[in-house]
Amino acid sequence: MRLRNSRSLDVRSVHVIVTGGSSGIGLATARLLADRGAVVSLIARGPERLAEAAKDLSAAARVADVSDQAALTRAIGELEEEQGRPCDVLVTSAGLARPGHFLELPDDVFRQMMEVDYFGTLYAIRAVAPGMVERGHGSVVAVSSAAGLIGIFGYSAYGPAKFAVRGLMESVRAELTPHGVHVGVVFPPDVDTPQLAEENQWKPAETRAVGGTIKPLTAEKVASAIVDGIDRGRFVICPDAGTRALARFGSILLPFLNREFDRKVRAVRRQ
């Protein structure tokens, strides 16, 4: 594994910590890196699923809520001690999505999205970045969302948190790159994961209509894009053509997309 702006790292000795590593994108990324010989550590909230994932990957694991800074920082420190080396690569995949109509969502949902999706990312990076800077190499990759590239009906709580992740990583990239640390941010669309199944229970009809009939990506496809992004030292990591177009031409496409989204919303409400 080679990290741009840093010395080359031998993947067989790289210590990777993945938050949200017990399922979905996090687990798929951890598995891909473990298959390539990396030393893998997992963090997640659910102890049963985490234990199963850790056993499957022969990984170290700690239970922690990423929105709890003290618990998350402690978990990362314990994993570094257990593995006998600091974190070389951090992938922050832990997150929640709770769609719903803006006027109907409780205030605490907006707060929870920021605490888990944004602060959960921030806290993890704050725990490992000083060491990476001191050593002059490393990689931090945060999972944002296509909803972090464009506002979408029904995602008034989730979208801003993922926009915040994007803004954080843009600023962090500017500051850490001169120190030899790779920074990346991932913009997946819908991905076939347990999180999406939970999310679908809350999606308004308008949100489903805006999303159309696009088939969700597999977690493995997103994981492959993440690992390739780390290998190539990419900042913007898009696992499909749609998000690549949004990332590159979003400001130009926005008026046309908004008109199309509004048309689909009106069609739902006429039914």
Residues carrying an active site annotation: 144, 158, 162
Q: How many CB atoms lie within 10 A of CB 115?
A: 18
The answer to whether 26 touches 20, Cβ cutoff 8 Å, is: yes
- 179: tokens are 């120190």
Phi and psi at 85, nearest 5°, equal -160, 155
Half-sphere exposure of 221 (CA within 13 A, CB side): 15
The answer to whether 76 touches 14, Cβ cutoff 8 Å, is: no
Name residue, tokens 């969502």.
Answer: 105
Name residue, tokens 């001169």.
Answer: 178
Question: Could you give the residue ranges of the DSSP H alpha helices within 13-101?
Answer: 24-35, 47-57, 69-83
Q: How far apart are the two ends of the chain, measured CA to CA in Å?
A: 53
Q: How far apart are CA 30 and CA 20, in angstroms?
A: 10
Strand, helix or coil at 112? helix
Strand, helix or coil at 249? helix
Closest CA to 96 of 169, 174, 161, 170: 161
